[in-house]
Amino acid sequence: MRFLITAGPTREYLDDVRFLTNASSGRMGYALARAALASGYQVTLVSGPVAIAPPDGCDFVPVRTTQELLEACERVWPECAGVIGAAAVCDYRPKIRATGKMKKTGGPLLLELVETPDVLAALGRQKENQFVVGFALESQDARENALRKLRGKRCDAIVLNAPTAIDADENTIELIDRHGVTAGEWSGSKTDIADRLIAWISQNLIGPASDDL
């Protein structure tokens, strides 16, 4: 049985050397990959640029942009029992990417942004007897926004955490199931939270690990 796990940030390029991104370290997604492998699952880890080596034994797919992340996930999605979307995806990209390196002009630069693809929602629309677990990093109206994402992306559960999780070794999360009910509230290292989340998915979304997928 194979899990698809996304991790790390994506980059959206302004020109050939500059890009928009965020401070995601990838630690949560990589911890989930290690926990899933330790529990007997096969893992495809699709990751944006991070300073962490992928766990031994996973199928590793490096990506940079959100579009690359979407395409990589869609290629393997039919082979997977489910997805855990822990990547910190850029929500916007420059409408026009400049060629080469932009030069200073002495005046202001106006940057027009457009939305990037919603990777988890795309997988949710395509799922067939597969689970979708998302992450929601929220600072305002946190639970309400997490519930909106849960329903809008056709998730079976969503992990709510705060901006303090970014580039941190520890985290505090609320796990919300498909009915909007709190299934767990955990604090600790990202490794510990990953172990708990994989165990919960095993017990509540798929049953025991097998080699069927």
131: phi then psi, degrees, rounded to nearest 5: -95, 150
Please give the class, per CATH, of domain 2-94+114-206: alpha beta
Q: C-alpha angle with apex 68: 44 to 6, nearest 5 degrees? A: 35
Sign for the CA dihedral angle at 64, 70, 71, 73 comes to: positive
Q: Please confirm, yes or no, whether 204 is among the known catalytic residues.
A: no
Per DSSP, the three-state class of 56 is: coil
What are residue 80's phi and psi, to 5 degrees?
-105, 150
User: The whole model's pTM is what?
Assistant: 0.94
Measured in degrees and rounded to the nearest 5, phi and psi for residue 155 equal -80, 150
Q: What is the pLDDT of residues 71-125, one digit of tens each?
A: 999 999 999 999 999 999 999 999 999 999 999 889 998 999 999 999 999 999 9
The β-bridge partners of 131 are: 82
Query: In which region does residue 145 sit, left (phi positive, over 0), alpha (psi from -120 to 50) or beta (all else)?
Result: alpha
Is the pLDDT reported for residue 210 higher than 50? no
User: Which residue in 22, 129, 171, 204 is the catalytic one?
Assistant: 22
Tell me how far apart the alpha carbons of residues 64 and 50 are, in angstroms, rounded to a whole number: 10
Q: What is the pLDDT of residues 13-60, one digit of tens each?
A: 999 999 999 999 999 999 999 999 999 999 999 999 999 999 999 999
Residue 140 tokens read as: 């305002």
Distance between CA 36 and CA 14 in Å, rounded?
A: 36
